[in-house]
Structure 1
Amino acid sequence: MITTTTSTRRHKLNRNTARNGGIFKPNTNSKAVEELYAIMDVVADRAEMHKNIGAQRDNWNHLLLTSINGMTATAAMMAGLAAMSGVGATLLALKLSSTLLYVSVTGVLMVMNRIQPSQLAEEQRNASRLFKQLHEEIKTTIALRNLTMNDVNETTEKVLALDRAYPLPLIGTMLDKFPKNVEPAVWWPQQLKTQQEKFGDRKVKKNGWNKNLEEEMKGVVGVLKRKDSAEYLRLSKMALKLNKILAICGPLLTGLAAVGSAFVGVPWHGSWAVVLGVTFGALATVVNTLEHGGQVGMVFEMYRSSAGFFKLMEETIESTLKGREADRRENGEVFETEVALKLGRKATEEFASKLF
C-alpha cells in the first residue's frame, strides 16, 4: 500500500513537472512542491475568473449608461410634447409616461452610482493582472529555490491577501466606493518577510551590496513617500470628490425632472414644470455621461492602485534593508535592477517613476 501511494505521488509530481516546463528539482521538499503546484492551479483559475467578471462589469457600465441616457432623453421629449398637447388623455398619457421613466431612471441611477461598474471592472482587471503575476512568481520560486513549507505558507498568505483586496461578490464584501479616508490599495500580506527570513543563514561573499547602494535605496524610499505616494493619493482624493458630486447630482436632477413632468399642464405651475422636466433631464444626461462615460470611478481606483504599488515598493525596500547582514539578503545588483525596472528609472531625483 505504501509503495502504491509513493508511486502515485511520484507520478503526480512528474505530471505536474512536465505540465509546468520541467522546473521540479529532485532535492526539493516534494510535499511543498506538490502544494505549490496546487496553489498555482488555484491562482490561474482566480486570474481567469477576475478577467471574465471584469469584462462582464465593464459591459454593465456601457449597457446601463446607454439605457439610462436613452430613457432620460425619451422622458424629456415626452415632457416637452405634453406641454404642447393641450389638455385631455394625450396630456395625461405623456405626463405619466415621462414621470414613470424619470422615476425609473432615478432608481437605476442610485444603484449604479452605489456599485460604480467602471470601478468594479478596474478592480477585477487589477486582480487578474496580480494573480497572473503571482502565478509566474510561484513558477520562478520553484525553479530557483529549494522549497520548504514556509514558501507554501507565504504563498497562501499572498493569495488570501489578494482575495481580501479584490473580492468577487458584490453583496457583503464589495469595497466601499466612497470611503471617508482614501488609503492606498493593499493586496499583499501586512507583514512582509525580511530578506534574512527568506534566505535564512545562507552566506554569500560579495553579495552585490555596498554602502552606496544602501544609501541609494533609502533615497528611493524617501522619494516614494514624499512625491509618488503623496501625488497619487492627492489625485485619488480629487477623483473621489468629483465622483461624489456627480453621483449625487445625477439622481437629484432626474428626481426633480420627474416632479416637473408630473406638474406639466397644471395652470399655476405649468411653465416651470416644463422647464424642470426638460432642462433638468438634459442636464442629468450630461452629468451621467461625465460620471459613467468618463469612468470617474475607474480613474479613482487606478490612482488608488498606483499609490498601493508605490507603498508596496517602499515596504519591499525597507524589509530588504532590515536584514542587516548583506550576505543574507537578495543579491544587491539583482535587487537594484528589479527596483529600477519597476519604477522606470534608477535616479532618486524628481519622481521615482516615469512609467506611472
Structure 2
Amino acid sequence: MATLKASSLLLKSSISSNSKKRGSRIRAMIQTPNRVSSISLPGLEEMELHKSTEKKLNPTNVETIKRNEGNYGPNPTVMMKLHAILEVVADRVEMHKNIGDQRNNWNSLLLTSINAITLTAATMAGVAAISGGAPAEAMKISSTAMYVAATGMLSIVNKIQPSQLAEEQRNATRLFKQLQNQIQTIISIGNVTDTDVKEIMGKVLALDKAYPLPLLGAMLDKFPAHVEPAVWWTENGGKQSRGNYQGYDNGWNGELEDEMREIVNIIKRKDKEDYLRLGGKALKLNKFLAISGPVLTGLAAAGSAFVGSPSHGGWAVVLGVVGGALASVVNAVEHGVQVGMVFEMYRSNAGFFKMMEEEIESNLREEGLEKRENGELFEMNVGLQLGRSLSEMRDLAAVAATAAEDIDEFASKLF
C-alpha cells in the first residue's frame, strides 16, 4: 500500500510539472504576437516616407535640396568680391591722402620760391638803376633772368592750381572713407548680393572720374567756362534704395512727401544756387589773378632789361621794381589765400546739394512705396545731412509751403 501511494504521488507531481511547462509554453506562444504587435516603428515609417519622396523627385533636385540645406550664409564669391573692393577703397584713401599732402606742399613751396625770386629780381633791378659799370650790368642781367624764370613758373603753377588740386584730394579722401564705412556696414549686416557689388563698383569708378589722380590728360579744368556742381555719384541717385518690406507704406505718408518736396525746393533755390554764385565769383577772381601774375613778371622782366638805357631809363626802373612788387602781391593773394581751393570748395558744396536733390527726387518719383527707402530713416538722414533736427526741418517745410515768396533761410545749417 505504501508503495502504491508513493508511486501515485510521483505520477501526479510529474503530470502537474509537465502540465505547468506546457502551459507556460502555450502562454508564451500566445503572448509573443501581442508583444510584437505592440512595438511602434516611427523610424521605419519615416524611412519609408523619405524613400517614397525621393522616388517622386528628380535625382538632380534631390541633390540640390541636400546641397542647399546647410547653405544659410552669404555667397562666398560675392563676399570675396566685396572684400577685394574694400581693400582697393582703403588703398585709394591712402593714395589720395598722400597726394593731397604732396600737392599742398607744392603750393606752399612754390609760393615761397616764386615770391622770393620775384622780390630778389626787383631788388636787383633797383640796385642796378643806381649803380654803374660792370656790377650794374650783371645785376640787370640777373634780374631779367630771374623775372623770366618767375614768369614761367607762375604760368605753370597758375595752370595746375596746386591749392585746388589739394582740395580735390581732400574731398576724395573723405568720400572714399565714407564709401569704406558703407562697405563695412554692408558686410556686418550681411545678405550681400551681386547688386551690392555692382553698385559699389560704380561708386568707386565715379569717384575716380570725379577726382582723378594724374595731372597730364586727366586733370580737371581749373578755369571752366561755366561753374557746374561736382558729381561723384552714380546715376541712380547716390546709393541703392533699401526699402523696408515689413509694411506697405514703408514709413511714408502724404505729410512726409510734402515735407520732402518743400525741402528739395529750398535746396534748389537757395543752397545750391548760392554756392554756384559764390563759385562763379571765386572763379572770376582766380582767372584775373592767374593772368595778372605772369603779365606783371613779364613786364618787370622787360623793364629790368632796359634799366640804365638813356631813352627808357625811367620807365624801365618803374617796371622792373614796381612790376615785381605787384607780382609778388598777386601771387601771395592767389596762392596764399588759395583762391583755387575756395572755388573747389564751393563747387563741391554745390555738388553735395545736387546729390541730395537727386536722392530726394528719386525716392519721390518711385510710385511703389515698398521700393523706397524707409521714410522715417530717410527723413532722419536728410535732417542729419542738413544739420537740422526733425522738428526744425518740419517747421522749415511748413514755413516754405505757406510763404508767398522765397524765404530767406537756407536748408542747411552746416555750411
The reply to whether TM is greater than 0.5 is yes
2:78 corresponds to which of 32, 52, 66: 32
Q: Measure how far apart 1:193 and its partner are.
A: 7.5
The within-5 A match list for 1:1-356 is 27-86=73-132, 88-192=133-237, 198-199=242-243, 202-205=245-248, 207-345=250-388, 346=393, 347-348=396-397, 349=400, 350-356=409-415
Q: CA RMSD in A?
A: 1.6
Give the distance between the partners of 1:213 and 1:65, measured in 2 at CA.
52
1:66 shift after superposition: 0.1
Distance of 1:33 and 1:231 partners within structure 2 = 43
Match of 1:20 in 2: none
> CA offsets per residue over residues 116-144 of structure 1, 9 Å max, x none?
00000000000000000000011112233
Question: Which digits, 9 at most, give the CA deviation of each residue in 1:16-58, with x for residues without a partner?
Answer: xxxxxxxxx9522222111111101100100110001000000
Q: How far, CA to CA, are the matches of 1:320 and 1:115 in structure 2?
A: 39
Q: Structure 1, residues 167-190: CA drift from partner, whole Å, max 9, x if none?
A: 000000000000011100000112
Return the TM-score normalized by structure 2.
Answer: 0.77
In 1, Cα distance between the equivalents of 2:339 and 2:414?
Answer: 21
Deviates more, 1:111-120 or 1:213-222: 213-222
What TM-score, normalized to structure 1?
0.89
SS at match of 1:126: helix
- Once residues 239 and 157 of structure 2 are traced to their aligned partners in structure 1, the CA distance between those partners, rounded to angstroms, is 43
* More deviation, 322-331/152-161: 322-331
2:147 touches 2:300 (CA, 8 Å); kept in 1?
yes
CA contact (8 A) 2:248 2:369 kept: no
2:39 alignment counterpart: none
Higher relative contact order (CA 8 A, sep 6+): 1
Which structure 2 residue ranges, 5 or more long, are not aligned? 1-70, 401-408
1:149: how far off? 0.5
How big is each residue's C-alpha offset from its partner over 1:315-338, in whole Å with a ceiling of 9 and x where there is no partner? 111111222222332221111000
1:232–1:122 distance in 2 versus 1, CA, 3 Å: same
Name the CA distance, whole Å, in 2 between partners of 1:251 and 1:206. Answer: 63
Distance 1:190 1:328 in 2: 17
Instruction: Decide whether the 8 Å contact of 1:195 with 1:320 is kept in 2.
Output: no
| Cα distance in 2 for residues equivalent to 1:226 and 1:237 | 16
Question: SS in structure 1 opposite 2:227?
Answer: coil
Distance 2:120 2:299 in 1: 16
Q: CA deviation at 1:194?
A: 8.4
Distance 1:59 1:175, change over 3 A: same
Deviation at 1:351, TM superposition (A): 0.8
Q: How many residues align?
A: 329
2:24 alignment counterpart:
none
For the structure 1 residues 122 and 280, does the alpha-carbon distance in structure 2 shift closer, same or farther, using more than 3 Å as the test? Answer: same
Change beyond 3 A, Cα 1:327–1:173: same
User: Compared with structure 1, are the counterparts of its residues 286 and 147 closer, same or farther at alpha carbon in structure 2 (3 Å cutoff)?
Assistant: same
Residue 256 of structure 1: how far off its partner (Å): 0.1
Cα distance in 2 between the residues matched to 1:335 and 1:308? 19
